[in-house]
């Protein structure tokens, strides 16, 4: 492998890691957008179900990542995300069983709020803040 190819591969890997949070945020926002769009046509039950199922699949992927041994998030954060995804599971099942476009509002808001947090760049630590090194910050995991 040439030096140029190595540099290019390294740059691609860094870009993928740096963009993981953005990709996760975009996925959550897209699911929120589809649910919001389906609310505009309450008579279209298939669109309503498809939007809910898309969001449910996304959260199933998140659940799968959270329980993965490779996920380096702190246990407390993992537990909080799992609790939230259990709520999303139950709310989604209830929304599919008793269709009501207004029930999607809570799911839309959850997705938007988490996406907003993922798109926010953490402020640099100050001298008086925790002494954790940047190496301790988990990167590239879902909701990292």
In percent, how much of the chain has pLDDT > 90?
60
Question: Which CATH number, 1.20.120, 2.60.40, 1.10.150, 1.10.8, labels domain 21-119?
Answer: 1.20.120
130: pLDDT strictly greater than 50: no
Average pLDDT over residues 51-72: 94
Band (pLDDT 50/70/90 cuts) for residue 132 is very low
**130 CB burial (10 A radius; 0-12, 13-18, 19+):** exposed
pLDDT for the residue 42: 86
Rounded to whole angstroms, the Cα distance separating 137 from 116 reads 19
Model confidence band, residue 89 (pLDDT cutoffs 50, 70, 90): very high
Say yes or no to pLDDT of 142 above 90: no
Which sequence spans correspond to the domains of the chain? Answer: 21-119
d(CA 46, CA 8): 44
């Amino acid at each position: 492998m040439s030096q140029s190819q190595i540099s290019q591969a390294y740059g691609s890997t860094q870009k993928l890691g740096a963009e993981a949070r953005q990709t996760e945020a975009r996925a959550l926002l897209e699911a929120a957008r589809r649910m919001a769009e389906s609310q505009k046509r309450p008579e279209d039950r298939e669109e309503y179900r498809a939007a809910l199922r898309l969001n449910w699949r996304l959260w199933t992927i998140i659940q799968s990542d959270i329980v993965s041994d490779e996920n380096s998030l702190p246990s407390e954060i993992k537990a909080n995300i799992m609790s939230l995804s259990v709520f999303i599971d139950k709310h989604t099942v209830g929304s599919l069983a008793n269709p009501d476009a207004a029930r999607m509002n809570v799911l839309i808001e959850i997705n938007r709020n988490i996406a907003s947090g993922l798109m926010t760049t953490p402020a640099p630590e100050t001298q008086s803040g925790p002494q954790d090194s940047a190496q301790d910050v988990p990167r590239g995991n879902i909701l990292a």
